[in-house]
Structure 1
């Protein structure tokens, strides 16, 4: 994949600023707006199918809480060291999950999106691949909590690789960009695939599967060189590239020196998600100066931007 003349546009869960995330409508909207890639987050069902949801806890993105037939599956679990209460994909079969309908995750900030609540089913990973292939765009799947799922006897990596092999998406030039916050899954995938891999890096904490490692260490020149041993990209929190009040760090040039391309997450138009200097007015849901922010990141040498509103990047 060649470095583009402008940053690639990765539609973050589709055009999730305009439609409920991870729905067909969100992905189709993103494609219409000129996204280069669409991004599905992948979790597993009880019967081992990869489906598309932001998290395996689905009370905020589906109508499961209003479904009395599933009331007894409300529970509390520990996910990557954190206690989470709700309904979880691994407790449902694909057939059961297909009866649910998607809803807007951030209704207070995106009330217009609630007009689409209840209209669409949960998609499988393969359905998103079909949509992308028919539109001629790439796919940037994120493997969510693979260590957690493996402990349940649900091997995300094996199911994922099987799909990519069946579809011919294993080569270095495949229109796919495989993401994970954990390290081990990407290292194992590198031994099985030549497809591009992206190590996600947050502004704090560290990979769940590597308690000996933190993300701060991964952003040093030495850490980036280590990431370059198995990945082709990093996906960095925007704060790691431009911390307030706005002077850029050396992360992008350091990553480029290590042979890594850099994607940044997540660019959103609403004031609440923008640095203070880029906000317009006091309404948290109001749109600020996202275009200006994107222009700065492009000048820094950014290779790709995860966008909730892809049209604004064009």
Structure 2
């Protein structure tokens, strides 16, 4: 049965379906500043802290089940290295032109993955999160959907390395659309955004579903599928108009909003092209903050994340990714009073 989402309801407002709305708080990998990322504990914490949308990055298992991991190489986020039964699975692969050695989700069945436990990816910066090491399993996309429905929040899945997975017989776009349809979601009114750093898979998705699509872009580099010469070319006024032909919004790296302390025209130009703007990723630690908002010289010390988010909100962004949804909620409340 489809989840009914009527315009004007709290869920509709959370999913950005009514106007005017407050900017969306997008929980980046859950409340990953306080719990190991992409775990039910992290997503639940984000919901408790006021997130409007939770973000699962998706990769497929050997038996084509979508699970929530930031990367298909899982040695940094699970205890797989401590499982002698999987020692022979360690291998080297080339993913989007980068050589990686480790253990890869696509070499495990879901049943095998469920024997692993998550751990904190950034223990030097977030030592408190290690208290949850070993306590959480890798969640399936179905489990994330069920959690979101239970708490009436949206979801913001990212298809990771779609061209690579398509090349090895795991068409993640098809798996994603099928699962969203099974959940009753296949319209612009659904509390869902689909995001990707690649271009051709978003264009393909635009022919497969009516769910809103977000084109991710970075300050450097180009899409891994070679569909554009650079991300820089995609964020010119002409490039943004091209993106708007298949996408609902743009997800730029947050540094792209600024040239020093001066706002770039990116938000204005995106809106002029008809695109919403959801920058990523707002984190509290000094190492991740714009220099203007750092406090002290220790990388792990928390700086003025509220100030950095408020500065972006002042440019008129429509939502933002953050590892710290509670701080994001504070910043939005102070900026939108």
What is the CA distance between 1:30 and its match in structure 2?
0.3
Which of 311, 315, 325 does residue 296 from structure 1 map onto? Answer: 311
1:171 match: secondary structure: coil
Question: How far apart are 1:242 and its partner, in Å?
Answer: 1.7
1:220 maps to: 236
Aligned partner of 2:131 in structure 1 is 115
Matched, 1:308 2:318: no
Cα RMSD between the aligned structures?
A: 0.9
CA distance in 1, matches of 2:225, 2:269: 25
The counterpart of 1:133, out of the listed 149, 166, 178, is 149
Q: Are 2:52 and 1:36 equivalent residues in the alignment? A: yes
Give CA deviations for 1:181-230 in whole Å, capped at 9, x if unaligned: 01011111111111110000011111111255210000000000000000
State the Cα deviation string for residues 216-254 of structure 1 (Å, max 9, x = none): 0000000000000000010000111123x2211000010
Question: What SS does structure 2 have at the residue aligned with 1:264?
Answer: coil
From 245, 248, 265, the counterpart of 1:250: 265
Distance 2:197 2:186 in 1: 20
For 1:275 and 1:256, how far apart are their aligned partners in 2?
Answer: 24
Task: Judge which range, 206-215 or 110-119, deviates more.
Answer: 206-215
Query: What is the correspondence of 1:241-280 to structure 2 with a 5 Å cutoff?
Result: 241-243=257-259, 245-280=260-295
1:300 is paired with a residue whose SS is: coil
Report if the CA contact (8 A) 2:228-2:234 is conserved. Answer: no
Structure 2 unpaired stretches of 5+: 1-16, 330-337
What does residue 168 of structure 1 align with? 184
State the number of aligned residues: 313
* 1:70-102, Cα deviation, whole Å (9 max, x unpaired): 011111100000101110001100000000000
- Sort the Cα spacing of 1:73 and 1:275 in 2 relative to 1 into closer, same or farther, 3 A: same
Q: Could you say which residue in structure 1 is the equivalent of 2:224? A: 208
Residues 72 and 278 (structure 1), Cα distance of their counterparts in 2 relative to 1, 3 Å cut? same
**SS of alignment partner, residue 130 of structure 1:** helix
Which deviations, in whole Å up to 9, do the C-alpha atoms of 1:248-272 show, x marking residues without a partner?
1000010000000000000000001
Give the corresponding residue for 2:166: 150
Give the Cα separation in 1 of the matches to 2:21 and 2:210: 24
The normalised TM-score by structure 1 is 0.98
**C-alpha offsets along residues 148-188 of structure 1, whole Å, 9 cap, x if unaligned?**
01111111011111111111111110000100001011111
Question: Which segments of structure 1 move beyond 6 Å, counting only runs of 4 or more?
Answer: none
Indicate yes or no: 2:125 matched with 1:91: no
User: Residues 260 and 3 of structure 1: is their aligned pair in 2 closer, same or farther, counting only changes over 3 Å?
Assistant: farther
Would you say 1:79 and 2:103 are equivalent positions? no
What TM-score does the superposition give when structure 2 sets the normalisation length?
Answer: 0.91
Question: What's the counterpart of residue 25 of structure 1?
Answer: 41
Change (3 A) 1:4 1:31: farther
What SS class does the counterpart of residue 77 from structure 1 fall into?
A: strand
Unaligned regions of 5+ residues in structure 1, if any?
none
Q: In the TM superposition, what is the alpha-carbon distance from 1:3 to its structure 2 partner?
A: 5.0
> Partner of 1:7 in structure 2?
23
Quick one: which of 287, 300, 310 aligns to 2:302?
287
How far, CA to CA, are the matches of 1:3 and 1:64 in structure 2? 46
Q: Secondary structure of the equivalent of 2:292?
A: helix
1:269-288 Cα shifts (integer Å, max 9, x gaps): 00010122211111111100
Distance 2:227 2:207 in 1: 22
Contact 2:91–2:103 (8 Å) recurs in 1: yes
